Structure 1
Amino acid sequence: MTPTIPTRQPCPPGACICERERLVEIQGADLRILYLTRQEEKRLLDRLESLSSLSDLEHMQRRMFEQLGLRVTIVPSLNEVRSMRGIGINIDELPGLCRKTRQAIPAAIRRGLEKRPEIAYELLNANDLLRDA
């Protein structure tokens, strides 16, 4: 008997916009996002909060895309960046991704950047925003 991979419990009807039912109905759809259980989500958020460098953040972005099909883009604002709020963290639309998870991932990344501001400086420098400083 082969063990089955646990999947995330469905959200209560009307409480979420994840469109999980539509994802399950589509034949050949990418179901990787359903493998992000609540326990695995907590591990992911803890990992995002404990980032050590910009390369670590980029590595996590690649791993989230490879394992979950979740594309996270992090770009600083074209205007002045005075706080972590000035850094835009966007998650592409993905059927099956819970609304709470869609909000929790950027919040965890921001907390990680607040703990290690040098990562935010590296991010700004990588996008050539500190060229005049």
Structure 2
Amino acid sequence: MQSPSFVMREECPQGLCTCERDDLLRKPDGDVRILQLTKWQEKQLIARIEAISSYADLKHVEERMYAQLGIVLHISPGLNEVRTVRGLNIVLQEQQGLCRKTRQTIPAAIRKCLERNPAITYAILDAEGLFGVEPG
């Protein structure tokens, strides 16, 4: 079992989480960056996400989450019409060590941010080509 040289997130109660933390620690080549996200740091991350004020800032936070924790965030329009922020798919890619609760709190914080900043939602839709001019 690996012994990382950083403070690790506390283990979730047995049977309540599907993070597979122990399996990750047993892998000699496992990406343990996600285990650096302590509960206190997660609260800071959630506050940071809720404070996002622009599309560029959202992309920056997304890049930092990947670089520091290995978290891959996907935000895309849903299959049906996007009339509200609820029409967006906001998911974190499956990752060993990523707590079930964290998989829910990060997308919820992003939705909260987008509800307060509709311009970011429009920028996401524009980046997906929904506002672009069709070739013709």
Fold shared, TM-score > 0.5 on shorter chain: yes
3-state SS in 1 of match to 2:17: coil
* Residue identity opposite 1:88 in structure 2: N
2:103 corresponds in structure 1 to 102
* Residue identity opposite 1:38 in structure 2: K
Q: Runs of at least 4 residues of structure 1 off by over 4 A? A: none
Q: Does 1:41 align with 2:42?
A: yes
**Unmatched tracts of structure 1, length 5 or more:** none
User: Share of identical aligned residues, percent?
Assistant: 49
The Cα offsets for residues 4-59 of structure 1, whole Å up to 9 and x where unpaired, read as 52110000110110100100111121110000000000000011111111111111
**Unmatched tracts of structure 2, length 5 or more:** none
Q: Does 1:91 align with 2:92?
A: yes
Query: TM-score when scaled to structure 2?
Result: 0.90
The Cα offsets for residues 60-101 of structure 1, whole Å up to 9 and x where unpaired, read as 111100000010011112431011111111211100110000
Let me know the Cα RMSD of the aligned residues. Answer: 1.2
1:14 corresponds in structure 2 to 15
2:65 corresponds in structure 1 to 64
Q: CA deviation at 1:106?
A: 0.3
Query: TM-score when scaled to structure 1?
Result: 0.92
1:117 corresponds in structure 2 to 118
